Chains A and B, each alone.
Chain A
Amino acid sequence: MEALVDELVSYLLIANQSKIAIKRQDIIKHVFKDNSKAFSGVLNQAKVKLENVFGLKLVELEKNCFLLVNNIVNAFPEDFESDDHTRRGLLMTILSLILLDGNEIGENELYENLRKIGVDVDHPHDVFGDVRQLINENFVKQMYLECEKQTAMDPPKILYRWGARARAETTEEDVQDFISSIVANEDS
């Protein structure tokens, strides 16, 4: 049993590297194989080990998906490589815009606001490259952002909200602090 717990922990760590949600059926396929009855028990023990050894929290989302998020403290910004750092900055900006717009923002509004701060989604950006791809494929896939297509409307409207990972990894307060720090810098 213990061996199965350790295997599950190993699997979750590797699966988490891509930052895409880990599906319950994949876990069962790769770790449990025929043993799926043991799932809940083993998962709970794995949770404990993830917290005790790695300081990571296993978060269960709707639709039988899982995430690993940091349980101890936000890592030091110096630790991130510069690409990630700037991307995080962009992400925080988008999260702020969503927050300021009442928790959801339309695609056009989002792009308009980004244009105002010098990020034009229609042209390859020096640092971010294809911004549309970054937003729709990276941030949405990694669940930092949630994207909803309202096909009932004509033309179909696209809305962005905070994704499950953003909700698990940060708080509205953190983002508000981020906004205040930028505003404060602009004033000074």
Chain B
Amino acid sequence: MQNAHRLFLQTFMYHGIMKGKEVKDSHKRAVEHFEGTYNETDLVHFVKTVNDGIRPFHLEIKKAMDEVTESHFYILVNKAETSITRQSSDFNVNQLELFKKLISAVVESDDGLISSTDALNLSGQLEGVKMSKKDAAKLFESLKQKKWINEVDGSYYLGPRSVTELEFYILEEYEAATKCHLCQKLCLHGQNCDQCDVRLHNFCAARCFRGSRNAVCPREECRAVWRHAVRNMDGDEPTSTPQTDSQQLSQKTAKRSRRQ
């Protein structure tokens, strides 16, 4: 570990989660500040050196993708306490309860989304001291700022920070929680097989089917026709169904708000 690594690590410890581009910039600044030669391709090795250094302290920098926007993130994860109660330094008991309820609702949903209205209504379900909708809204704002949850089209979903840091907790706690069949990581928002339990991340599906017109469920015992829009790896036209995922998304959220 050299000073550049330490500086990079300190930046990470401050932010907790950084976008791919921010990480690259941080790497560049750290190396150049200590008069090293910067090379973009060094990043992988650079992060590995940092990870080797911090491993004894149950820390690791992990890469993850936002399940909805598919942007790349790097997250500094503390693996020592995988239970959600570790976060209690940031939030009080009530707020933690509400966050847990939100997680529960997201996990139980088909698509990992919960409308902001439904989310606010969760505050009425708290046992013990109730929380006003105003305070609930404040909590959600705070969670958004700290990147635990994100918002799209008026719905909340768990951001890559939660999916990565709370993966163990969620898989343990919720039977309904599923892993992506392909990458075996927790998958809350993705594509579900019509016939069986298989679920895939959008980006995992894209990589697997590579725009093929004959996409089928990757589970051997199933092989049902995969009816979801599977885009090419270049991210352009979907090939199977006419609807893109984002169209499906806005239709679903529109349906949900009409129902209310």
A residues contacting B by CB (< 8 A) are: 6, 9-10, 13-14, 17-18, 52-56, 70, 72-73, 75-76, 79-80
- Nearest to B15 among chain A residues (CB) is A79
- Nearest to A70 among chain B residues (CB) is B10
- Closest CB-CB distance, B13 to chain A, in whole Å? 8
Residues of B within 8 A of A80 (CB): 14
Residues of B within 8 A of A72 (CB): 3, 6-7, 10
Residues of B within 8 A of A79 (CB): 11, 14-15, 26
A13, B10: Cβ atoms closer than 8 Å: no
B57, A9: Cβ atoms closer than 8 Å: yes
- Closest CB-CB distance, A86 to chain B, in whole Å? 16
Chain B 1-17 interface mask (CB, 8 Å, partner A; 1/0): 10100110111011100
B residues contacting A by CB (< 8 A) are: 1, 3, 6-7, 9-11, 13-15, 26, 29, 33, 53-54, 56-59, 78, 80, 89
> How many pairs of A and B residues are in contact by the CB < 8 Å rule?
51
B29, A53: Cβ atoms closer than 8 Å: no
Chain A to chain B contacts (Cβ below 8 Å), 7 pairs: A9-B56, A9-B57, A14-B89, A53-B6, A56-B10, A70-B10, A72-B7
B57, A76: Cβ atoms closer than 8 Å: no
Give bound CA distance, A6 to B58, whole Å.
9
B3, A14: Cβ atoms closer than 8 Å: no
Residues of A within 8 A of B9 (CB): 53-55
- Closest CB-CB distance, A27 to chain B, in whole Å? 15
Give bound CA distance, A84 to B59, whole Å.
25
- Closest CB-CB distance, A172 to chain B, in whole Å? 24
Residues of B within 8 A of A53 (CB): 1, 6, 9, 53-54, 57
B89, A17: Cβ atoms closer than 8 Å: yes
Residues of B within 8 A of A52 (CB): 1
- Please indicate which of the listed interface residues A18, A55, A75, A80 has the most CB atoms of chain B within 10 Å of its own CB: A55
Residues of A within 8 A of B11 (CB): 75-76, 79
A18, B14: Cβ atoms closer than 8 Å: no
